Amino acid sequence: MVRRMSKRVAIECRALVGPRAGIGRYLYRLLEEFAGRKDDVTYYLYAPRLIEVPEVCLADPRFVVRMVHFRPALLWLHAVVPVWIAQDRIDVFFGPNYAAPLLRLHGYRSVITIHDAVYARFPETMLLKTLLHNRFMVPLYCRDADLLLTDSHFSAQELHEVIGIDDDKMRVVHLAGDNHVCIPTDNTVAVGQPDVAAQSRIAGPYILTVGTVEPRKNMESVVAAYAMLPTALRDAYSLVIVGRALWGGLNPRQWFEKYGVTDRAFHFDDVSDGELQGIFSKASLFVFPSLYEGFGLPVVEAMSSGVPVICSYTSSLAEAAGDAALLCDPTSPRDLSTKVELVLQDTTLKDTLIELGTRRAADLTWTRTAETTLHCILGEE
C-alpha cells in the first residue's frame, strides 16, 4: 500500500480574532473536527493578532500557530502571509473568510470559501470599507483561487450570476449546527451551560433572534413584530436579541423604546459559545427574518437545540431550513407577528416544527462538513 505524502495546509484565521460571529464559529468548528481526524496533514494557523484556538488543536503537534501583531489585517494578508507560505513550504492555502493572498511566491493550491454575494445584492446593508473591499477584491480572489467553496446552492448560483464563476470551479458544502440537542422544559437549560437568561433576570419563556446587529439581519422588524403581538402573549414571552452591534447607528435598546417594549425585551451583545448554547436551549421560539444569507447558520443551531424556527423565505434560508421551518416575508413585520402568534398558540404546530427541525439538524453535522471541506482543500473532491 502506498502511503500518502504529508500535506502542509495554511489556514487564514482572522475570523478567530475577538468574539466569534458566524464565520468565526464556522472556522472554529472546522478546526475542532480537523483535530479529531487521524491524517498526515500539518495545519498552519495564520493570524494577524491573538486568536482563540480550540484546545484540542493546541494539544495536537500537527497544528502550528503563526501570529504577529499587524494592522491592518488586509495588509498582513497580502504582505506577510505570502512570506509565511513560502517559509513553511505550504502545499495548500485555505481562506475561510472570502479572501486569499494574490501574491504567490511559490506554487501551491488555493481554496477559499465565499459565503455570499451580499455586496452585490444588498450593498446598502454593508459598512463602506467592507463594501469597497468586497466589490473590488472578491472577484479577484475568486478568479485567482483554484477552487471555491460556498455554503449553499443559492450562493453558488449568486457567484455564477454576479462574478461569472463556472460551476465546475465551485463546491457546495452545507454548514451545520452544534450537536447539543436539548428539548427543554420551561425551566431547563442545556446541561453544563451558563443560564444567561436567569443571570439577566429574564422571567419566563422568550422569543429569540441571533445575529450581528446590522441592516441585513433585519432585527428591527423582529422588535416591530413582537410589539404587534397580543398583550397576553407579550406578557407571557419576552424578546431576546443576541448579537454584536456592527453599525454605530443601530441599537436594539432604541428599538425597544421606539416600539414600547423596554420592559419585555433584552439585548446581549457579547456572549460565549457556551452561553449562546444555553440561550438557544431555553428559547421557546427562534425567529430569523434576515433579508439575505449565504446559508443561515443560526437557523440550524436553533433546530439542533430543539427550538421551533420561523425564518425568511428569501435567499438561502429555505434551503438551509428544508421543510423544518415556518417561512415568513422578511419585509412584513405583520406577517412575522402573525406567524409567531400561530406557533406560540398552536402546540401541535410547535411540536411538529421541533421534530422536523431536530431531524434536519441531524442531517447537517460538522463532522460531515469538515470531511467534505478537507477533501476539497486537499484536491480529493
Does the residue 172 lie in any domain?
Answer: yes
Clarify whether residues 43 and 172 are in a common domain.
yes
**What residues have CB less than 8 Å from 194, skipping those under 6 apart?**
272, 274, 275, 278
Q: Which domain holds residue 103?
A: 7-176+366-377
Between strands 206-210 and 7-12, the pairing is unpaired
Phi then psi dihedrals of residue 102, to 5 deg: -85, -20
338 in a domain, yes or no? yes
62-117 pLDDT, tens per residue?
999 999 998 899 999 999 999 999 999 999 999 999 999 999 998 999 999 999 99
- For residue 182, being part of any structural domain is answered with no
122 shares a domain with 26: yes
Q: How far apart are CA 187 and CA 128, in angstroms?
A: 44
Return the CATH number at 60: 3.40.50.2000
Based on the fold, state whether residues 372 and 355 are members of the same structural domain.
no
Same domain, yes or no: 237 and 354: yes
Model confidence over 111-128: pLDDT tens digits? 999 999 999 999 988 888
Do residues 229 and 354 both lie within one domain?
yes
Q: Are both 161 and 68 inside the same structural domain?
A: yes
Consecutive H or E run containing 47: strand 41-47
Is 184 part of any domain?
A: no
pLDDT range class, residue 245, cuts 50, 70, 90: confident
Residues 370, 359 share a domain: no
Q: Tell me, yes or no, whether 327 and 234 share the same domain.
A: yes
Say yes or no: 300 and 236 in one domain.
yes
Q: Is residue 70 in some structural domain?
A: yes
For the ranges 127-136, 137-146, 174-183, 271-280, which has the lowest average pLDDT?
A: 174-183
Please indicate, yes or no, whether residues 242 and 356 belong to a single structural domain of this protein.
yes
In single-letter form, the type of residue at position 314 comes to T
Distance CA 208, CA 377 (A): 36
**Domains in the chain, number:** 2
Let me know if residue 157 belongs to a domain.
yes
Quote the DSSP letter at residue 316: T
Tell me if 187 is assigned to some domain: no
Residue 126, pLDDT score: 86
Residue 303 has pLDDT above 80, yes or no: yes
Does residue 202 sit within a domain?
Answer: yes
Q: Residue 86 contacts by C-beta under 8 Å, 6 or more apart in sequence?
A: 105, 106
Please tell me the predicted confidence (pLDDT) of residue 381: 66
**192 pLDDT higher than 50:** no
Query: Does 278 have pLDDT greater than 90?
Result: no
Residue 236's Cβ-count burial label (10 Å; 0-12, 13-18, 19+) is middle
Q: What is the pLDDT, as a whole number, of residue 125?
A: 84
Same domain assignment for residues 102 and 165: yes
Task: Say whether both 172 and 259 belong to one domain.
Answer: no
